[in-house]
Structure 1
Amino acid sequence: MSLSVERTGDLDRKYFFIDGTWAAPSGDRVQEQIEAATGERIGVASLGTAADIDAAVRAARHALDEGPWGRTTAAERAAVLRRFADALDKRAGDTATLVSRENGMPIALSQMLNGGAPAGLLRMYADVVENLPLEEVRASQAGATIVRREPVGVVGAITPWNFPQALAMFKIAPALAAGCTVVLKPSPETALDAYVFADAAQEAGLPAGVLNIVLGDRDAGAALVSHPMVDKIAFTGSTATGRAIGQECGRLVRRVTLELGGKSAAIFLEDGNVETLLAGLGNAAFLNNSQTCTTQSRILIARSRYDEVVDAIAGFADAYRLGDPLDPSVTMGPMATQGHLERVLRHIEIAKGSDARLVTGGGRPDHLSRGWFVQPTVFADVHNSEHLAREEVFGPVLALIPFDDDADAVRIANDSNFGLGGSVWSADEDRALAVARRVRTGTIGLNYYTLDLGAPFGGFKDSGIGRELGPEGIAAYLEYKSVYASAKYLPA
């Protein structure tokens, strides 16, 4: 495979960011970061232990309880967040390239979601907290009640590898805006890029201990979830891990936000426009090589249009150009890791053994000898009870399912343990909206699907608990306190 962009040397990160400084790890375990498109080493990062997590949590607790951060005003925090955003902007290009090398994300998408989005989210939540009344006075029978919004406390943020910068900032930005302190435990599959936050935080003058970063595996994550000084866990990842975290947070009576998996449905009604579908299918079903929790991998098609739409989707999948994600002309990169590629291929083999019909794809591309690439794959005639329609593949593998009428489409769409994304495609937008209102899912698009960072995001059912993004996203990092007082505090 010919690579279009010159690669830099090793990008080692052997220290953790704790209490505003670079701290040596307590153990000697390291994570070698392998480039998804080449299978070659990018760098090495240390893996944290429970002792490293403990040091980071204690630093966060001290910064909240004893340091200046716990006494800041909303305006002061907003100013710090905007400086933080400016510092990230300076690094945006290099950050986007690094993430694309780590997980195979096409560079144009990485420039938006790993380069630009984190700074944008910081600025958005700076505006939100400046315009949010953190204290209000209400008349009461005994005089007055002062209702306060206060930070929930120390936040443990556990983030995945598919959109590592953006999904980390889904948590960091509202938490800092609310006045919380944060311990970030990023995924070892993308071992290097999270420390860009530390570099930028130092430049922005974020007080020591407000943001701490310790790379680690599941053991480090478990230590963070169960740490007695942590007040809230914010997690994005698999439903299986989310269940374990939720169980532990329930035992500890700890606040938790869980953004988990999906098996979302795109519903193509009989009056839908095929060209409109194909124009939006990239975002809806193949975004980030389909390594996206909202991937609409179940395509429900009106039976009267079924053959036509199956052929169109197959042609669309065949047109993807696989290759180096740093090449702007490439439209699909590799899977993030060799292990993940093997999981995707296992799902494909299971589907081949079912009654489903393989229309296109179904394996590794012959022309790419290095990296963890898989062909965009389309199965038709899938029954909604089959493995491919029930399980999240997290790769470019679509299950095409026919339906009879709108009610049947809604029934099939809702016949899932998940409810995170979705879309409805129709020439009549009012009709599409009526269908969308009946689908039990946290987000759904009408004739397109594009995440809106200014609106709440999250899932129904096994897709999670709570909401991130939008002005509503800060609520998960605030507690209410009612102070019963005399009438002297009432406004004149």
Structure 2
Amino acid sequence: MTDFVEHGKLFVGGRLTDPLSTATIEVVSPHSEEIIGRVPHASPADVDRAVAAARRAFDEGPWPRLPLDERIAVVTRIKDGIAARHEEIARLISAQNGSPYSWSVFAQGLGPVLVWDTFIGIARGMPQEESRAGVLGPLLVRREPVGVVAAILPWNVPQFIAAAKLAPALLAGCTVVLKPSPEAPLDSYLLAEIAQEAGLPEGVLSVLPADRETGEYLVGHPGVDKVSFTGSVAAGRRVMEVASRRLTRVTLELGGKSAAVILPDADIATAVAGITPAAWMNNGQACVAQTRILAPRERYDEVADALTAAARDLVVGDPLDPATQVGPLVARRQQRRSLDYIELGHKEGARLLTGGGRPAGRERGWYVEPTLFGEVDNAMRIAREEIFGPVVCLLPYGDEEEAVRIADDSEYGLSGSVWTADPERGIAFARRIRTGTYSVNTFGLDMRGPFGGYKNSGLGREMGPEGYAEYLEHKTIHLPAGYEAEGAPGADGVKGAD
């Protein structure tokens, strides 16, 4: 992307309209450190009118009352619009946050398409009503949309997370106020354009780029029924605190410090080939990144040598260059954070195996070398705190019991993996770890499975039927004994999706 991108209006209630303040957000390239875009900064007054539009659309408008098939038709057009423009979306996100384009094409462009498509299938398969035999008489259980949703996005994978929130919310019949991060607001205008072209009714979607202050105002707004937030633990705690004042429902997808465990019987070359992209994915700017790697002491040197060589081979460069595997971090503060943790790792006594500073020849841009520390103790801060940069720790362990203890000795519980020659052994190991998602001899995130965390990694789930259910209320209707309403569920207990 070489052209300067500027938007002068906000997308409020399905229309581009003038903002109610003169404040703007300047988008800075993490590669060139030059300003590449500018958008309005939404104010609390803009939030008021967006929530009012969403409230009217939910309380009085057609969207929650449409048959599911009609909502699916609109959402399918959104999905198809994203698919048609996925390369443009990927380039735009890479230009904003430094994501390597080779990774962005899938994770930032095609990945969201898969999320939208998966939720369409999930919605089709989940009935709106079902009958149950109650203790005191027949019951009818209904699933209804939760209401007005405030969806707050991070800057690292904005369209993927937007899809994880918007797709189930819209299919359920909710209306949404979407707040993109100030570091990555440009792609949200493409999403708004695609949604408008798809025929979303008035008021169903607003897009308000803004900072945390405006985001907090949105979270605490009396017109909001549910908040879905993805971000840091500290910000998640604040979201929960503000939302609790009105008992607003929350879904929180927060941080991670996930462990990839190499068991003694694993093929090291295979394990390292699988772990490397999972450890340094998106420049380390991923909550699910495998940033703690556990190696058995008897094979520690072998793992260290292979992992060091793999990290050194990673291509660092311009995020829009298809050859790049590690790009710059999103902001100068993130670069400084990683460099500070590298300095801390030295002070804590960890052994630097590779990396450790700015890449040679990269004086401009917020770059940090792919960095690997060895001989890390799990009590060190570099092993306990989420760095959100390309800094990875290699930890030795004795037996399998110690590996389980180290993997679980974390305030986080979002992801993880195990690598072994025996898949059954790997599955047994996975069952012992307290974390929301886990992989055996691979690393993945499947849209049909629930995604979320244990402990400080969050509350609730995204993806899968469980993620769809986060946007539904459940109502029980007690029926008279022997009564069967017209169009009541059949013998299978299911009335249908509408």
Q: Same fold (TM over 0.5)?
A: yes
Secondary structure at the residue paired with 1:294?
coil
Q: Is the 8 A contact 1:301 1:401 kept in 2?
A: yes
Name the stretch that deviates more: 259-268 or 275-284.
Answer: 275-284
Cα deviation per residue 1:173-195 (whole Å; 9 max; x = unaligned)? 00001110100011001121111
Q: CA deviation at 1:491?
A: 5.1
The residue aligned with 2:399 is: 405
1:238 corresponds in structure 2 to: 232
Aligned to 2:495: none
Matching of residue 298 in structure 1 with residue 292 in structure 2: yes
CA 1:401–1:140: 2 relative to 1, 3 Å: closer
* Structure 2 counterpart of 1:461: 455
CA distance in 2, matches of 1:320, 1:91: 28
The match for 1:264 is 258
What is the deviation of 1:278? 2.0
Cα 1:491–1:259 shift into 2, 3 Å = closer
Cross-structure match for 1:20: 14
Match of 1:422 in 2: 416
Q: CA deviation at 1:112?
A: 1.1
Verify the 8 A CA contact 2:118 2:447 in the aligned structure 1.
no
Aligned partner of 1:309 in structure 2 is: 303
- In structure 2, what is the equivalent of residue 39 of structure 1? 33
Counterpart CA distance in 1 for 2:417 and 2:329 is 25
Q: Which residue of 1 aligns with 2:319?
A: 325
For residue 244 of structure 2, the aligned residue among 240, 250, 268 is: 250
SS of the counterpart of 1:156?
strand
CA distance in 2, matches of 1:209, 1:122: 20
> 1 CA distance for matches of 2:137 and 2:341?
64
C-alpha separation in 2, matches of 1:436 and 1:125: 26
CA deviations 1:62-83 (Å, max 9, x no partner) are 1111111121111111111101
Q: Secondary structure at the match of 2:484?
A: helix
- The Cα of 1:90 is off from its aligned counterpart by 2.4
Q: Is the 8 Å Cα contact of residues 283 and 450 (structure 1) preserved in structure 2? A: no
Give structure 2 stretches of 5+ with no counterpart: 491-498
Match of 1:153 among 147, 151, 159: 147
Q: Is 1:346 aligned with 2:340?
A: yes
Match of 2:368 among 374, 389, 401: 374
Q: Deviations over 1:256-296 (max 9, x none)?
A: 10000011111111111111112212332011111000111
For residue 444 of structure 1, the aligned residue among 417, 438, 447 is 438
CA distance in 2, matches of 1:322, 1:221: 34
Residue 143 of structure 1 deviates from its aligned partner by 4.8
Please state if 1:287 is matched with 2:281: yes
User: Counterpart of 1:207?
Assistant: 201
Identity %: 48
Which piece of structure 1 moves more, 236-245 or 85-94?
85-94
Take 1:279 and 1:453, find their aligned partners in 2: how far apart are those partners?
Answer: 24
CA distance, structure 2, for counterparts of residue 77 and residue 265 of structure 1: 40
| Structure 2: distance between partners of 1:111 and 1:358 | 32
Letter in 2 for 1:416: S
Q: Structure 1: which amino acid aligns with 2:450?
A: P
Q: Does 1:144 align with 2:144?
A: no
Q: Deviation per CA, 1:145-183, whole angstroms, max 9, x where unpaired?
A: 221100000000001000011011110000001110100
Report what 1:83 is aligned to. 77
SS in 2 for 1:488: coil
Contact 1:284 1:448 in 2 (8 A): no
Which residue of the other structure, out of 112, 131, 146, is the alignment partner of 2:106? 112
Match of 1:3 in 2: none
Give the aligned partner of residue 176 of structure 2: 182
Q: Secondary structure at the match of 1:194?
A: helix
Matched residue count: 486
Could you say what secondary structure the match of 2:186 adopts? coil
Match of 2:42 among 48, 72, 77: 48
| Alignment partner of 1:488 is 2:454 | no
Give, as a single letter, the amino acid of the residue that structure 2 aligns with 1:249: A
- Alignment of 1:389 with 2:383, yes or no, is yes
Q: Which of the numbers 218, 222, 237 marks the counterpart of 2:212?
A: 218
Whole-Å Cα distance in 2 between the matches of residues 318 and 427 of structure 1? 26
For residues 353-382 of structure 1, what are the alpha-carbon distances to aligned partners after superposition, in whole Å with 9 as ceiling and x for unaligned?
Answer: 111111111000112232111101111111
Aligned to 1:392, what secondary structure does the other structure show? Answer: coil
Per-residue deviation, 1:347: 0.9
Q: 1:375 to 1:427 in 2, by over 3 A?
A: same
Larger deviation, residues 125-134 vs 53-62: 125-134
CA distance in 2, matches of 1:279, 1:491: 52
CA deviation digits over 1:233-253, x for unaligned, max 9? 000000000011112222321
- Listed as ranges, the matches of 1:59-138 within 5 Å are 59-138=53-132
Q: Determine helix, strand or coil for the equivalent of 1:147.
A: strand
Alpha-carbon distance change, 142 to 307 in structure 1, aligned in 2, over 3 angstroms: closer
Residue number in structure 2 paired with 1:163: 157
On the 8 A contact 2:42/2:210 being kept in 1, the answer is: yes
Residue 474 of structure 2: SS of its match in structure 1? strand
For 1:50 and 1:162, how far apart are their aligned partners in 2?
A: 25
Question: Gaps (5+ residues) in structure 1?
Answer: 1-6
CA distance in 1, matches of 2:426, 2:60: 54
Confirm whether residue 276 of structure 1 aligns to residue 270 of structure 2: yes
Q: TM-score, normalised by structure 2?
A: 0.95
1:360 aligns with 2:354: yes
- Specify the alignment match of 2:473 in structure 1: 479
